A and B are shown apart, each in its own frame.
Chain A
Amino acid sequence: MPGLEDLYREIILDHYRNPRNRGELPTPPAVRVEGFNPLCGDEIVVFLDVADDRVQDLRIGGQGCSISQSSASMMSAAVKGKTVAEARATIRAFKSLMSIHEQRLDGADDDGAGAGAGGPSVPEPEVKLGDLEALQGVVRFPVRIKCATLSWNTLAQGLDEAQETSATPS
């Protein structure tokens, strides 16, 4: 049975106690997107400044549990300064890290090699998750996966909106 130490790793608690990139950005030029977890009432606000196809800056607002807040904080550190394509690849890699449980339920095999129990079954090539891998323990607590992915889904929505905005001639 998974223990609390699998969930609350030190790096997660550090990001929870000292969240990075907390705050707001002026809109425009930034876009502001909100994400809600209807199960627990958590909400996250992502301010995203995308220019020249790159995440120039982002800030995180809202409130939530240690998992949702630390995940958002780590996410902000991971994608700030990255190109939109790199940010999207990071989102895919992170969500794949979070989807191990679902894949097992689907009966999908991870080719019998490589990633063992608890490891990412579909590694996204070229993406180094670094600190974010500390959140891997969350998949052993299925109810909490939505906490960890809330900010990432919100970021994905923000990237879509930012790209739509820049694609629209003003």
Chain B
Amino acid sequence: MALDVELVKKDFPILDQLVHGHRIVYLDSASSSQKPAAVLDAMQQLYETTYANVHRGVYSIAEESTRLYEEARTKVAAFLGAASTREVIFTKNVTEAINLVAYSWGRSNLGPGDAVLLTEMEHHANLVPWLQLKAERGIELRYLGVDGDGQLILDDLEQLVAGVKLVGLTLVSNVLGTLNPVAEVARVAHAAGALVLVDGAQYTPHFTTRVAELGCDFYGFTAHKMLGPTGIGCLWARESLLEAMPIFLGGGEMIRDVRLDGFTANELPWKFEAGTPPIAEAVGLGAAIDYLLAVGMADVRAHEIELTRYAMESLHERHGDDIRIFGPPDAEKRGGVLSFAYKDIHPHDISQVLDEVGVCVRAGHHCAKPLMRRLGVGATARASLYLYNDEADVDALSSALTSADRLFS
């Protein structure tokens, strides 16, 4: 059954308002998505009825709070197809998930001359933690290149992966929308003895995620891009890996025992969750998963393909050579992330003029400066689509571009 966008829109209170007198057209979900009432209500309900710290109190609301927090973990485990909740570590976001791997696994497994293979299209979150290790430990960083269509160049994969200890890559580019063949890369990487870390920030909100089928060893995603709140994300990793890894942040919650001369770490997954966790946020994430599953991830993705195709076709049809959309031309092979250049108007100016008619798009380097250099641009404008967007939203963007043209040409 196809997704009914009219019904979906009604679930998002923020979409029912005017900006500068115009209906809000939110096209920046790749940056952060909006939240349905179900998520807001679940968090509000917790705070109003059963909120207390988790894993501490024995009184009833503390038990209920703990139950809800751990229930969210169970929902995440099922949503990812994880083997057990012990593999699901709550983090602040994907950035923290990758930093956890770089600090804990990286600092106990990588030394001078050890190599990590990344790609040119990584978000800064999957570059800087490894650049830190390069500066600190002298590890070697290698990169898979990107071709003119925004696809990874995999011709040299076998040579590049030789001797590498970890391959880190994004599943969907936050700039190009490219859907990377992670399972294929993972097969080659594993054959060469490397582990595989996948940044799922732009994938999990839009696709059915099955970590086993992806063949990765580490996987990160964040709640706020998939209808959930900010402040909570997740690192999934195989249990045997997590068991062998040293702790990351130290403090309460992550310990079994603390003496004045030492400590014993808690068991998984709490071993990696120091301090009071984001409790209401976990509940909100659980509610977001429930919402997405009720809509159906297959329908979410089908809608994305259909709307992405409409956007690419209609923008090209109306604006011809004035618009250049980066990334793969085939909607089936990409996410709904549309970075574009329009005439020679700077993305900031495009975004500013679009705002005048309520159209929200991102302008900038999208935390991917090496990729911007590769594309030969300082910045791009980026419209990104989600389940609450429809053809009218794309049309509003397209018309607003014509206004920008009138102002600056």
Contacts and interface: CB of A to CB of B under 8 A. Distances in A.
Given A4-B353, A4-B356, A39 B364 contact: yes
Interface string A109-130: 0000000000000000000000
Interface in B303-317: none
B319 interface: no
Q: Most A CB atoms within 10 A — which of B349, B364, B372, B379?
A: B349
B408 interface: yes
Interface string B345-376: 01111001100100000011100010010000
Contacts of B20: 1, 3
A13 B364 contact: no
Nearest to A64: B346
Interface in A1-19: 1, 3-4, 7-8, 13, 16-17
A67 interface: yes
Contact of A43 (B352, B353, B378, B407): B378
Contacts of B356: 3-4
- Among A4, A41, A141, max chain B CB count under 10 A is at A41
A40 B407 contact: no
Contacts of A43: 378
A147 interface: yes
B203 to A, nearest CB: 25
A147 B379 CA distance: 14
Contacts of A85: none
A41 B364 contact: yes
Interface in B93-149: none
Contacts of B346: 64-66
A104 interface: no
A91 B370 CA distance: 33
Contacts, number: 48
B349 A65 contact: yes
Contact of A8 (B347, B372, B378, B407): B407
A4 B406 CA distance: 13
A40 B378 CA distance: 8
A66 B347 CA distance: 10
Interface string B10-51: 000000000010000000000000000000000000000000
A40 B348 contact: yes
Nearest to A7: B352
Nearest to A1: B20
B365 A144 contact: no
Most buried by A among B347, B363, B379, B407: B379
A161 interface: no
Contacts of A66: 346, 348-349, 408
Interface string A78-92: 000000000000000
Nearest to A62: B378
A40 B352 contact: no
A66 B351 CA distance: 12
A41 B407 contact: no
Interface in B65-100: none
A41 B369 contact: yes
Contact of A13 (B352, B369, B408): B408
A140 B259 CA distance: 56
Nearest to B344: A63
A39 B378 CA distance: 11
A16 B408 contact: yes
| B20, B348, B363, most chain A CB atoms within 10 A | B348
A57 interface: no
A65 B349 CA distance: 6
Contact of B365 (A3, A8, A41, A141): A41
Interface in B322-347: 346-347
A40 B363 contact: yes
A144 B352 contact: yes
A154 to B, nearest CB: 16
Nearest to B366: A41
Nearest to A63: B378
Given A40-B365, A41-B369, A67 B407 contact: no
Given A4-B352, A40-B363, A40-B364, 4 more contacts: A40-B347, A65-B348, A67-B348, A147-B348
Closest A-B pairs by Cβ, 6 of them: A65-B348, A65-B346, A41-B378, A41-B365, A41-B379, A40-B364
23 contacts: A3-B20, A4-B352, A4-B353, A4-B356, A4-B407, A7-B352, A8-B407, A13-B408, A17-B408, A40-B347, A40-B363, A40-B365, A40-B378, A40-B379, A41-B365, A41-B369, A42-B348, A42-B378, A43-B378, A64-B378, A66-B346, A66-B408, A67-B348
